[in-house]
Structure 1
């Protein structure tokens, strides 16, 4: 079993989904991807999660992010579950759900944690960049629903910090001040960030978000 680590190229696969067969790398194209896994169809917490992601689809689209779910049940089961999600969450599931009944993708992405439950996938979020590199993993227990505002916040941070020599501080939200990368001397930072650099400590310098 290969454990995926940040910066690794994620494995490619071809698998059935609620929207037909998907060849993952080809489907992803030059987009970012959020792949999120579920223990099984017709599970209550996951029903709310898939509905929430459907409602946030326009937010993911704005960030050039494709979303794709995974559950270990088959496509017929997925279709019935999607009807329930649409009805109970007042939405329309508008992205594919992989059917991983053979657990091929679950094994590739190490989604089965035997000490938690050997029979089902854990509830993990993978954020993957356009180069197919793994940039974030979040793994939740079955009893705790995921916070997809946090997933969007992390993607905002990743996309910003990929393009500028900055990092984002605790609880950062889009539009707030960011941290100047410690590798840049303060005088150089003042030239690089014309909106201003505030030196709190020599290693802690803040600047307004540079792309705003």
Structure 2
């Protein structure tokens, strides 16, 4: 589909606006620390695709350490992780080796390079005039059909919560069933909420018709 596919070596132009929830995630192929990566290979499972401003920076290092430690729990959810920055593959490899040497943490998920900025632009991480991605700290939660279900943006000076990324992935997977929505702070196993009922509930649903919790079995 025109405008849907891009790659690290560059083929098609970026879409005219940033991605929104409900959009189809642009396809790409790129080199990574785990070899060639194609987004289409992740169809059939959940994916958190996230960018970081630069390798060898303190906030990004703290995020990668936390995500690496939580990677088995993402895997239990059936949710993959892919990181991205404009740094080269060789920089990624050196940085991940330094993280392992300094903190004893091995990053188990691929980190892709995007020196041309084409993937970042395709996802709306950058505007068309941007020359680098130093202010980008974005996360895209993509469902098994390749649809963007949630997006988060942080400034380069504030690190994301890996726990919240995991919680959001779990919540998105839970509500995918269509029989419930999740309340504030929901964690797996907590009570969920009934979706807003139809008009008849206004008359026979009781005073709490608009916010009913149900326990998970």
Q: Same fold (TM over 0.5)?
A: yes
Equivalent position of 2:49 in the other structure: 35
Structure with higher strand content: 1
Equivalent position of 1:207 in the other structure: 214
| Structure 2 runs not aligned, ≥5 long | 1-15
Cα distance change on mapping 1:202 and 1:86 into 2, 3 Å: same
Equivalent position of 2:36 in the other structure: 21
Deviation at 1:44, TM superposition (A): 1.0
Aligned positions of 1:1-150 closer than 5 A: 1-26=16-41, 28-112=42-126, 119-121=132-134, 122-150=136-164
Equivalent position of 2:172 in the other structure: 158
Contact 2:86 2:132 in 1 (8 A): no
Deviation at 1:42, TM superposition (A): 0.9
TM-score, normalising length: structure 2? 0.84
Deviation at 1:118, TM superposition (A): 5.1
Deviation at 1:32, TM superposition (A): 0.5
Moved over 6 A (4+): none
Aligned length: 197
Deviation at 1:109, TM superposition (A): 0.5
| Structure 1 runs not aligned, ≥5 long | 187-197
Structure with higher helix content: 1
Deviations along 1:120-168, whole A, 9 cap, x unmatched? 2500011100000001111001111110111111111111111142111
Contact 2:48 2:142 in 1 (8 A): yes
SS at match of 1:56: helix
Cα distance change on mapping 1:68 and 1:94 into 2, 3 Å: same
TM-score, normalising length: structure 1? 0.86
Cα distance change on mapping 1:49 and 1:200 into 2, 3 Å: farther
How many angstroms apart in 1 are the aligned matches of 2:87 and 2:178?
A: 42
RMSD between aligned alpha carbons?
2.0
Contact 2:51 2:84 in 1 (8 A): yes
Contact 2:48 2:139 in 1 (8 A): yes
Equivalent position of 1:189 in the other structure: none
Cα distance change on mapping 1:32 and 1:199 into 2, 3 Å: farther
